[in-house]
Amino acid sequence: MTLLALIVDDEAPARSELRHLLGGIDGVEVAGEAASSREALTLAERMAYDVVFLDISMPGDAGGIEAARRLAALPGRPSVVFVTAHDDRALQAFAVEAVDYLLKPVREDRLVTAVRRVAAIRAGTAPDAALDGRIPALGDHGETLLIDPADLVYAEADGDRSRLTLASGGMVVSPRSLRALEDLLPAGFMRIHRSQIVSLSRVAAIEPLPGGRVQVRLADQAGTTLAVARRQTRALRASLGLR
């Protein structure tokens, strides 16, 4: 299967460089270029592109985020990969279901990874399945991290995204909501509160609280304690094999 690609960037040298890099990757063909999101939308209405490599910020234009929303409404809905010099817009990008977020200057290995993800999606593999069970998150430099659930201690809701606390002691932000994480995570994780999911393997103790409630103490570097919703206490004990 050959992916038909559209490159959208207001700078001609950037379009040329991306075209050159894509030319060295099997299974992708650059079938169009646009210097604005308006031009890109016109082209996308005429041709069924598989993937649009889209700059996130174009002067005097509607911008990449809005363009991605409009592309999502088209029949066939091309996948979107953002290519940008801005390292602070990734969460907005994932909110419009971008497949990937590449920083300029684009590294060839990251571009290959993005193309593979698009190919998996266009072949009928669901995006989360294409992640092989891993959780997408935002790195310190705008890169896309893929977190192994085995490294996750607990996740906490943060609006329509989630904060992930890792076994290493670090914390990263995922564009997935806590509800979406519930569907993505394997067995061994439990929602103990409307705003928190914990790894059962990281529960070191269940401790009493006033009023008959309990909290879990986690086996992380901080010895984190989290209160358990009253209605979840029995299910938590059962999941841990306790009476």
Question: pLDDT, tens digit, for every residue of 118-147?
Answer: 887 787 654 455 466 788 888 877 778 889
Nearest-Å Rg of the Cα atoms of the chain is 21
Question: pLDDT, tens digit, for every residue of 152-208?
Answer: 999 999 988 899 999 988 899 998 888 888 877 877 889 999 999 999 999 999 999
Q: Provide the pairing of β-strand 135-138 with 144-147.
A: antiparallel
Q: Measure the CA–CA gap between 197 and 182, rounded to whole angstroms.
A: 8
Q: Measure the CA–CA gap between 30 and 214, rounded to whole angstroms.
A: 58
Q: Measure the CA–CA gap between 98 and 44, rounded to whole angstroms.
A: 16
Q: What is the DSSP string of 172-237?
A: EEESS-HHHHHHHS-TTEEEEETTEEEEGGGEEEEEE-GGG-EEEEESSTT--EEEPPGGGHHHHH
The domains located in the chain, with CATH, are 3-130 (3.40.50.2300), 141-239 (2.40.50.1020)
Q: Measure the CA–CA gap between 204 and 101, rounded to whole angstroms.
A: 37
Global pTM reads 0.58
